[in-house]
Amino acid sequence: MPGEEQISTPLFVATCQSCGLQFDWRLSNKDFLHETTFHWEEYMAPSETWDHDHCAMCWQTFMEAELPGVQQAGYVGYTEEEVWWICQQCFEDLREEMGWQVEIQEEPPTQS
Complex with Zn ion: residue 15 or 101, whichever CB lies closer: 15
Interface residues toward Zn ion, by CB under 5 A:
16, 18-19, 21, 55, 57-58, 60, 87, 90
Complex with Zn ion: residue 36 or 60, whichever CB lies closer: 60
CB of residue 55 vs Zn ion: minimum separation in angstroms?
3
CB of residue 94 vs Zn ion: minimum separation in angstroms?
9
CB of residue 106 vs Zn ion: minimum separation in angstroms?
26
CB of residue 5 vs Zn ion: minimum separation in angstroms?
19
| Measured distance CA(75)–CA(87) in Å, rounded | 6
Complex with Zn ion: residue 18 or 111, whichever CB lies closer: 18
| Measured distance CA(105)–CA(38) in Å, rounded | 10
Complex with Zn ion: residue 97 or 107, whichever CB lies closer: 97
Using a 10 angstrom Cβ sphere, with 0-12 exposed, 13-18 middle and 19 or more buried, the burial of residue 60 is: buried
| Measured distance CA(37)–CA(92) in Å, rounded | 14
Comparing C-alpha atoms, which of 28, 90, 34, 33 is closest to residue 62?
90
